[in-house]
Chain A
Amino acid sequence: MFSSSTQLKFWTFSGVTELNRLRAEANETYVSEYGKNETIYYLTAEDETKVRRHYEYVIKDFCTRFQPPMPRSVLGTALVFFKRIYLHNSIMDYHPRDIQHTCVYLACKVEEFNVSLQQFVAQLKGDREAAMDVILSQELLLMRLLHFHLTVHNPFRPLEGLFIDLKTRCEDIDNVERLRPGAEEFLDKALHTDVPLIFSPSQIALAGILASGKNAGVSLDNYVANKLLVSGGQENLLKTVEHIKRIKYMVKNQDPLIREDVKILERRLDACRNPENNPNSETFKRKMEEYLDDEDEKKAKKRQKWEEVRLCFVHSSVYIQIFLSFSRRNQ
């Protein structure tokens, strides 16, 4: 249930200002740690937002083209994962190109949409073996970045619930189903904004239905005020209505994304990204090798220790035999 979820406790924020502050902090931390080289241009928080939004659309494209077709909740979960990660981390630290597929793969698991890794990689272009390595090596990292809060409450099921309720309690509205395409489109758009990080999924779903109703010329005010929210009193009603207005505003007024800008920023990102997390860089390979060497060394040490223990055991068993024989003689 959403009211007792980690989503509400840790991943629901007061508003855009707080989100932007967190992102700016993540950007500053990265620049203060790695930004020693003055010849390189480090991305600002605004640049990061642009790149991030670009990759959100990339993820959406990938998910809609996926065969077999995946449920929309997978896309929703993947996008929320993606947003959560870049709240506390800079895209220069973890490149979205590596993160995006892992997000979708993990979302498939979380939403119980069963695809094997081979099946999943088959949908990608380019080197599939390498992609497989990246996904497997980053899955755990990704979960750590998400603080292992893997359950995401998407607005899709609340939307269904609202439709059922609408059909049951408002028989005066004919053909409720015609509101569906508009509402779903609204939710799709909402996924690309910061709305899932600020509002509850049911509020987003309600905003979707209301927006769709407005477009179709159906007034749902009566339903909302006198049926759905009647038990909460006037105060709650007003608050919810205000929230829904905010959601509608945020979904409708998105900044357009300029393709050329993103291209330039991506080129800059390649220069300033963290080499330790780049699977193609020398630093990463060296680190990996060191790690593997360490493992080997540990294993060798372990084997040596075992040998010592074994010898010790053999010696002591001889002594025990001698001792026993001696004591038996004495008796």
Chain B
Amino acid sequence: MSDLACPRCKTTKYRNPDLKLMVNVCGHSLCENCVDLLFVRGSGSCLECSVPLRRNNFRLQMFEDSYVEKETDIRKKILKDFNKKEEDFSSLREFNDYLEDVETIVFNLTNGIDLEETKRKVELYKKEHQDSIRKNRAKMSKEEEELEDMIATEREIVENNRNIIQAEINREKKQKLKQKEALIDDLMFSDLPANHIVATHQQEVSSQKIKSSELKTTKFSTGISMGKRDAFLPIKPVVEGKVFTYSPLTIHTAGPDFPPAHDIQNLGYLSHIRAASDQERAGGYEASLACERALQEAFCGLYLTS
């Protein structure tokens, strides 16, 4: 952003953080101050391409690239007239051709290709389709209508909810008032002792409270309601598969059984092979490992019949 600069006064964004670049129809930018200075009279010509410009056509530059800025501007203008919708065409193919034409016009205007001819084309189109352009402008597109509908229904729902809540509050208030009045009435006309009456009334109120709190259920966004009775129903028993039972590994050797690993030393096998050196033992090697392997290989497959 720091290289943003006004082409006239050379102020940069760095030196003046409030710098606002403005752009007009030709796509060349100027800073706000320069616009104020140059177009005091309301009109003038562009510094770079000397196209006549009006001051109120200046607007804030939104893109760093003025080419894009110019393009959007032109596009906006063109689309005001070329405002046909898909439903105006009998086939998708035609609609696509139409869009292609619009793109070509926009491209030509931005890049200055066949400028005169393109402008003439646009004028011609405007004249030819005057009625439909006006009609289309007035008519809201289908999508917009749908959107409007959606917003309206949403608003309705919110309104409804609010009404329900309000009614609930009113009802509660009324009830409380009624209870109070009933209490006073009882105190005034009943023969029972006063503290007895107060106690029964309190009981009634508290029981009602419990009832209302029971009825209240909160619904989560996922649709699960909380606070309902059936949440405490017992969990259904899960049917489990068969329990795993360990069975020791059986090795089919096709030969006589070899002496078990822990007995190799006791049976005296190790006395006939070279003992492991200290270095070898440091690496985890034991003489019994080699001995066991040799014995296993010697016995394995002795009974093999091909």
Chain A residues proximal to chain B, CB less than 8 Å: 1-4, 8, 12-15, 153, 157-165, 167-168, 198-203, 205-206, 228-232, 236, 239-240, 243, 321-322, 325-326, 328-329
Contact = CB atoms under 8 A, between A and B. Distances in A.
Given A321-B68, A325-B62, A161 B75 contact: no
A164 B254 contact: no
Interface in B102-122: none
Interface stretch (B19-27, B130-138, B239-247, B298-306): B298-306
10 closest A-B pairs by CB: A161-B298, A200-B301, A161-B294, A200-B304, A158-B298, A167-B272, A325-B72, A236-B303, A2-B301, A160-B294
A202 B306 contact: no
Contacts of A230: 256
Contact of A13 (B72, B75, B298, B306): B306
A212 B76 CA distance: 103
Contacts of B299: 161, 202, 228
Q: Assign chain B's interface to a size class.
A: 35 or more
Contacts of B297: 1-2, 153, 157-158, 161, 201-202
Given A1-B300, A164-B273, A164-B291, A200 B254 contact: yes
A232 B294 contact: no
Given A164-B272, A165-B295, A202-B297, A329 B304 contact: no
Contacts of B75: 322, 326
B269 interface: yes
B296 interface: yes
Contacts of A168: 267-269, 271-272
B302 A161 contact: no
Contacts of B293: 157, 161
B257 interface: yes
A3 B300 contact: yes
A326 B298 CA distance: 83
Interface of B: 62-63, 68, 71-72, 75-76, 251-257, 267-269, 271-273, 291, 293-306
Given A161-B296, A231-B256, A200 B302 contact: yes
Contacts, number: 119
B255 A325 contact: no
Contact of B296 (A1, A199, A232): A1
A1 B306 contact: no
B306 A157 contact: no
Contact of A200 (B68, B71, B300): B300
Contacts of B268: 168
A202 B298 contact: yes
Contacts of B273: 164
Contacts of A153: 297
A232 B295 contact: no
A77 to B, nearest CB: 14
Given A153-B297, A322-B75, 15 more contacts: A3-B253, A12-B306, A15-B306, A157-B293, A158-B300, A159-B298, A160-B294, A161-B294, A167-B272, A200-B254, A202-B297, A203-B302, A229-B302, A232-B303, A322-B68
Contacts of A203: 301-302, 304
A165 to B, nearest CB: 6
Contacts of A243: 304-305
7 contacts: A161-B295, A164-B295, A168-B267, A168-B269, A230-B256, A322-B75, A326-B76
B256 A229 contact: yes
B27 to A, nearest CB: 13
B298 A8 contact: no
A7 B166 CA distance: 85
A161 B269 CA distance: 10
B306 A164 contact: no
B289 to A, nearest CB: 13
Contacts of B72: 322, 325-326, 329
